[in-house]
Amino acid sequence: MNSAVIAILLAMNFALTGFSIAQSAPAKPNIVLIFCDDLGYADVGFNAELFGVETDVVTPHIDALAKGGTIFKQAYVAHPFCGPSRMALLSGRMPHSYGGQKNLPDVSKNLENYNDLGIPENETLMSTVLKDGGYATACIGKWHVGSSKPFHPNTRGFDEFYGFVGGGHQYYPSISDKVEPKINDYQYFIERNGEPFKSPEGAYLTDMLSGAGSKFIATRASEEKPFFLYMAYNAPHSPLHGKTEDLQHLYPDHQPANPGNGINFSDYEKRQNYVAMMYAVDRGVGEIVDAIKDPNGDGKTDDSVMENTLIVFLSDNGGKIAQAANNAPLQDDKGSTLEGGIRVPMFMHWSGNVPAGAVFDHPVLALDFYPTFAGLAGAEIPEEKVLDGKDIWKDFLAGKDPHSDEPIFWLRHHGVGNEISIRQGNLKAYRKNYSAWKVYDMTSDFSESHDLAKENDDMLNALIERGRQWSGTLKEPQWFDTEAGMKIWFKNEMPQYERSFRRR
Task: Name the site residues for Ca ion (rule: CB under 5 A).
Answer: 37-38, 82, 294, 296, 298, 300, 316-317
Q: How far is the CB of 297 from Ca ion (least distance, A)?
A: 7
Round to whole Å and give the CA distance between 362 and 212.
Answer: 34
Q: Report helix, strand or coil for 74.
A: strand
Pick between residue 79 and residue 403 the one whose CB is nearest to Ca ion. Answer: 79
- Distance from C-alpha of 410 to C-alpha of 422, rounded to nearest angstrom: 6
- Cα 124 to Cα 376: distance, rounded to the nearest angstrom: 18
Beta carbon of residue 206, minimum distance to Ca ion (angstroms, whole number): 15
Nearer to Ca ion, 82 or 397 (CB): 82
CB of 220 vs Ca ion, minimal distance in Å: 15
Alpha-carbon distance of 158 to 431, in angstroms, equals: 39
CB of 227 to Ca ion, least distance (A): 17
Concatenated DSSP letters of 354-378 = S-TTEEEEEEEEGGGHHHHHHHHHT
CB of 396 to Ca ion, least distance (A): 25
Neighbours of 23 (CB within 10 A): 8
Phi, psi of 226 (to 5 degrees): -75, 165
Long-range own/partner contacts, residues 336-339 (CB < 8 A, 24 or more apart): 336/80, 336/412, 336/419, 337/80, 337/410, 337/411, 337/412, 337/419, 337/420, 337/421, 337/430, 337/432, 338/421, 338/430, 338/448, 339/442, 339/446, 339/447, 339/448
CB of 489 to Ca ion, least distance (A): 21
Report the alpha-carbon angle 221-207-196, nearest 5. Answer: 90
Shortest distance, CB of residue 455 to Ca ion, whole angstroms? 35
Q: How far is the CB of 235 from Ca ion (least distance, A)?
A: 11
Query: Smallest gap, in angstroms, from Cβ of residue 299 to Ca ion?
Result: 7
3-state secondary structure 428-483: EEEEECCCCCEEEECCCCCCCCCCCCHHHHHHHHHHHHHHHHHHCCCCCCCCCCCH
Q: Give kind and range of the element (H or E) at residue 488.
A: helix 483-491
Beta strands in 125-190 (DSSP E): 136-142, 160-164
* 8-state DSSP, 337: S
The edge-to-edge listing of strands for the beta sheet with 438-441 is 408-413, 418-424, 427-432, 438-441
Measured from the CB atom, the residue of 298 and 383 that comes closer to Ca ion is: 298
Q: Which CB, 288 or 439, lies closer to Ca ion?
A: 288
What is the smallest separation between the CB atom of 215 and Ca ion, expressed in angstroms?
15
Residue nearest to Ca ion (CB): 82
CA distances from 319 to 14, 269, 322, 323, 358 (A): 32, 17, 9, 8, 24
Closest CB to Ca ion among 208 and 342? 342
The CA-CA-CA angle for residues 190, 477, 261, to 5°, reads: 35
Distance in Å, CB of 323 to Ca ion, minimum: 10
Question: What distance lies between CA 320 and its chain's CA centroid?
Answer: 14
Beta-sheet strands, E only, within 244-397: 309-315, 343-344, 346-349, 358-365
Closest CA to 434 of 376, 474, 386, 492: 492
CB of 486 to Ca ion, least distance (A): 21
Question: What amino acid is encoded at 486 in this protein?
Answer: M
Closer CB to Ca ion, 82 or 229, in the complex: 82
| Residue closer to Ca ion (CB basis): 294 or 451 | 294
Three-state secondary structure call for residue 391: coil
Query: Shortest approach of Ca ion to residue 376 CB, angstroms?
Result: 25
300 or 454: CB nearest Ca ion: 300
The answer to whether 409 touches 94, Cβ cutoff 8 Å, is yes
Distance CA 129, CA 385 (A): 11
- CB closer to Ca ion, 304 vs 435: 304
Check the CA dihedral 290-153-36-377 and report its sign.
positive
In the complex with Ca ion, which residue's Cβ is closer, 186 or 440? 186
Pick 42 or 82: Cβ nearer Ca ion: 82
C-beta closer to Ca ion: residue 25 or 89: 89
Residue 284 or 467 having the CB closest to Ca ion? 284
